[in-house]
Amino acid sequence: MSALNDKKAKPWPKNCVWPEPVKAGTGYYWEAEDADALPLDEAGEDLIAIKDYMDGLISEGRLNEDYSINSDYASCSDEMTDEIESWEPECGSEYWDENGFDFEAWNDDMVAQLNNLKLPLPSPVDDIQRVINYEFINENILRQAFTRRAFAAEYGVGDSEVLEFYGDSVLNTVIIRELAKLSSEVDGDSPCAPFSSDYNEGELTKIKQHYVNGEHLAARADALELDKYILYGTGEQESKSAKENMIEALIGAVAVDCGWDWHTLETVVDQLICFQISNAILRQSYYDMFNAWHQRRFGCMPDYELSKGMPIDSAMKEYRYLCTLRYSIPENDKGLWTSQRVDVQQKTRSEAREYAAMEAYSFLVSNGLWLNLSDAKIEPNQENSINQLQELFQKKYVDQPEYHFDDLNDRWRCRCICNGINGLGSGKTKTQAKKNAAFVVLVKLMMSAGLANEKMKTDMLNMLLN
């Protein structure tokens, strides 16, 4: 006996975010005419093909509008009557009898098929599909991905645990494939070491772990607002592990539903995980930096839309990815629209997003809109630059500045990084190099806020030349 027919299962909970799946032969919701607007499995597509074929027979006159045999067809086509009576359709013979096409029997099968695949409305299916950019054929698999084992045991439905297992494997594979595309190459002219990677094994493990760990997956579930669709059992509490499991199960559900199509899986995993290689190793990415700025300023993420772009090779086997970034900028006196757009193409999704964010960041900096320092009352001073930069941090105008040093034997070189702006300074002492680097960053920060005067720029240029 199937779980759906288990008489011991509780009645479906009232006000549940997911509607109860239709039990076989009862409570049909979808009608046959709905099929044209819905993705179908192979059986459903076969049923559509049969009706299309029969509609073609109506067009050629062999059948009447009600799908009965047209008795006048023989005289119209000069065929013999006995040939008409012995004729068999090329498909749909199971719905064919001496009267023609049994539309009612076909309709009943199509209704049953649709209601086996689709959930009654209203349901969260459309909202979830928009988030992951994938349309499910069998919506019950999608619901199952959100079903905890405790809920499944109470209400007689399938749980998500095997889908989690599949999704975990898919997630690891997609991330490793993306890492290989981004950071490794094979050089046929180097027989000693044809394969090379920008990162060593430990660094690659660190990057992968960043994206598959429970904290990141749970955070993505929250950010995408998918956590509200999880079906918990009675007494179960919301948890990070449940959110992590749901993300994995959702990936597994897509794998099963799409027949393990890797292009589809890569697209869905990218939507869910948002893989950006640069934020896991040492430096912050423009993508992270720009998103944080946009979130602080406008209370929402900018919109990244990814689609297939120009082909990479003449065989058209690989394509670049087009990223369209739509974002907001502050009201300004520069005649700039507050809604902006960037279009870039790169080899991978990750690179396309990164370059789009970099262009948006550069646009804001060049137009003095990146920072709001108008009331900070800071006049960059070379001798006091370290303290001035620290003061901006303490007043929450900027992030914590970072300093990195190189010993050049007779001199010190310092790189200061703050809010995505780099400043390089050198000096005979470590402190002097740090002051000079901080001063460059201060002036660049003022420039990014549209507040730098000519004296500041000249002082910075003189310091760099000396």
Render pLDDT for 425-439 as a digit per residue (tens, 0 to 9).
Answer: 999 999 999 999 999
Instruction: Check if the beta carbon of residue 424 is closer than 8 Å to that of residue 438.
Output: no
Residue 328 banded pLDDT, cuts 50, 70, 90: very high
Residue carrying structure tokens 């073609």: 56
User: Mean pLDDT, to the nearest integer, of 26-51?
Assistant: 92
Residue 75 banded pLDDT, cuts 50, 70, 90: low
Task: Note the pLDDT of residue 421.
Answer: 85
Residue 284 banded pLDDT, cuts 50, 70, 90: low
Against a cut of 0.75, is the pTM above it?
no
**Domains of the chain, first to last:** 22-118 (no CATH), 139-279 (1.10.1520.10), 286-366 (3.30.160.20), 385-465 (3.30.160.20)
Question: Is residue 373 over pLDDT 80?
Answer: yes
More confident residue, 293 or 79: 293
User: Mean pLDDT, to the nearest integer, of 236-265?
Assistant: 96
Q: What is the mean pLDDT of the chain?
A: 88
271 closest CA partner among 306, 235, 228, 309: 306
Grouping H, G, I as helix, E, B as strand and the rest as coil, residue 120 is coil
Residue 219 tokens read as: 């955070």
Task: Note the pLDDT of residue 1.
Answer: 34
Burial class (CB in 10 A: 0-12, 13-18, 19+), 368: middle
Tell me the sheet residues that pair with 414.
405, 425
pLDDT digits (tens, 9 = 90+) for 107-135: 999 999 999 999 999 999 999 999 998 99
Tell me the sheet residues that pair with 169.
none
User: What is d(CA 163, CA 149) in angstroms, rounded to the nearest whole number?
Assistant: 12
Kindly state the helix (H) or strand (E) to which residue 389 belongs, with its residue range: helix 385-394
**Who contacts 296 (Cβ-Cβ below 8 Å, separation ≥6)?**
none
Task: Note the pLDDT of residue 160.
Answer: 97
Burial class (CB in 10 A: 0-12, 13-18, 19+), 155: buried
Amino acid at 114: L
Residue 159 tokens read as: 């749980």
Tell me the sheet residues that pair with 322.
307, 345
User: Mean pLDDT, to the nearest integer, of 314-339?
Assistant: 86
User: What is d(CA 19, CA 126) in angstroms, rounded to the nearest whole number?
Assistant: 13
